[in-house]
Amino acid sequence: MKKLFLLSLMLMMPVFAQASGGPSIQLDSIQADVTDKASLQRGMQTYVNYCLGCHTAQYQRYIRAAEDLHIPEELVTEHLIFSDQKIGEQMTSAMDPKLAAQWFGAPPPDLTNEVNLRGADWVYTYLRSFYADDSRPYGVNNVVYPAVGMPNVLAELQGVQSKTCGEVAKFDDHGAAVIDSLTGEPITEQSCEVFSVAEGTGNMTPAQFDATIYDLTNFMAYMSKPYKSDSQRIGLWAILFCLMMTVLFYFLKKEFWRDVH
Ligand code: HEC
């Protein structure tokens, strides 16, 4: 018994290790909603306008997105396909990955599965965490992905963010402000995660930008699991079917055994 207990503890070790070594960056949390078609439509629009030039989504076909997102096919062809691609094709871009790797230091990865790999919170926070940094080739850095090779392609919307260090209130593990017992004043500490957007550099308000990135992340969550809404619907029918069969078999069994007793 003791051995079994020890063994199960050992098996759980990696879980503990991961929990303690978790990310030091606080990710902003969102709830992706692949049933919100309007949000997915806006997200797709942002994706093809701002991302597809560098990042393919090679496991996503335009036509499948048109069906799932309820966008008429002619609108997709007219407004969402910029290359000479056909609606039946996968969402791939024209950029040569080798050249891209030369320009950016790393090739832009395919993003069809990105939300599965990193999580929606990570993607949502990453896209909002670029800040001006003159030491980087493209003049920007990212809090979530330090020394990233991607330029801040959304700067015209968000504006130029700067990472300013400042004194912020200190909170304990329970989220309560820490108070200096002598002076009764809240204790402050240096923090470098305070962002400010330079006035007049972006054409969206912070709330509008957050909403745009939510929609974009939502679309990427859909691409990671395009079958999710289908599988939820089919799953429900499958369970109902099983329940019905259970009732049916129960009465069948009763019928069969009636003569035996
Ligand atoms: C000009 C080209 C370019 C554009 C446009 C671009 N990216 Fe990137 N992106 C890159 C490059 C290059 C990397 C790889 C950076 C690295 O590994 O250092 C990258 C990395 C990423 C990553 C991190 C991938 C990972 O997990 O390692 C995400 C997420 C991402 N981009 C999302 C987007 C989204 C969403 C858009 C559209 C708003 C976008 N990118 C537009 C070039 C681009």
> How far is it, in rounded angstroms, from Cα 91 to Cα 56?
6
pTM: 0.77
- In the reported structure, the alpha carbon of residue 89 is separated from the centroid of ligand 1 by a whole-number distance in angstroms of 22
Ligand 1 within 6 A of 109 CB? yes
- In this predicted structure, the answer to whether residue 8 has a pLDDT above a threshold of 50 is yes
Residue 257 belongs to a domain: no
Secondary structure class of 79 (helix, strand, coil): helix
Pocket test for ligand 1, best of 150, 156, 204, 223 (most atoms within 8 A of CB): 150
Ligand 1 contact, 106 CB (< 6 A): yes
Q: What is the pLDDT of residues 133-189, one digit of tens each?
A: 999 999 999 999 999 999 999 999 999 999 877 788 888 888 888 999 899 888 988
Q: What is the pLDDT of residues 212-227, one digit of tens each?
A: 999 999 999 999 987 6
Closest ligand 1 atom, residue 117 Cα: 26
pLDDT exceeds 90 at position 205? yes
**189 falls within a domain:** no
pLDDT of residue 16: 43
Rounded to a whole number of angstroms, the distance between the first and last alpha carbons of the chain is 46
Tally the domains of the chain: 1
226 lines ligand 1 (CB under 6 A): no
| Within-domain flag for 172 | no
Query: What is the C-alpha to C-alpha distance for residues 104 and 96, in angstroms, rounded to an integer?
Result: 12
Confidence band of 20 (pLDDT split at 50, 70, 90): very low
Calculate how far, in angstroms, residue 17's C-alpha sits from the geometric centre of ligand 1: 29
> Which residue segment(s) compose the domain that 225 sits in?
24-130+144-154+206-250
Instruction: Give me the numbers of helices (H) and strands (E) for the chain, helices first please.
Output: 10, 6
Domain containing residue 239: CATH number: 1.10.760.10
Give the rounded percent of residues in the chain with a pLDDT score beyond 90: 60
- For residue 261, how many C-alpha atoms fall within 13 Å in the half-sphere facing its CB? 6
Ligand 1 and 154: CB distance under 6 A: yes
**Whether pLDDT at 52 is above 90:** yes
Nearest residue (by CA) to ligand 1, atom 6, is 51
Average pLDDT over the chain, rounded to whole? 87
pLDDT tier for residue 94 given thresholds of 50, 70 and 90: low
CA of 126 to the centre of ligand 1 (A): 10
* 10 belongs to a structural domain: no
- State residue 259's pLDDT score: 82
Within the chain, residue ranges assigned H as helices are 2-20, 37-50, 62-68, 73-75, 97-104, 114-118, 120-127, 155-158, 206-224, 228-258
Residue 74 counted as domain residue: yes
pLDDT band at 22 (very low <50, low <70, confident <90, very high): very low
Q: Which residues pair with 132 in a beta bridge?
A: 140
Determine the atom of ligand 1 nearest the C-alpha atom of 95. 2
Residue 256, domain member (yes or no): no
Separation of alpha carbons 78 and 45, rounded Å: 12
Cα of 231 vs centre of ligand 1, distance in Å, is 30
Is 89 part of a structural domain of the chain?
Answer: yes
CA distances from 116 to 32, 54, 111, 122 (A): 12, 20, 10, 11
pLDDT tens per residue across span 97-143: 888 888 888 899 999 999 999 999 999 999 999 999 999 999 999 99
The CA 149 to ligand 1 mean position distance, Å, reads 8
3-class state of residue 47 by DSSP: helix
Within a domain: 179: no
Q: Which two tokens stand for residue 115?
A: 């939300």
The whole-number average pLDDT for the span 203-211 is 95
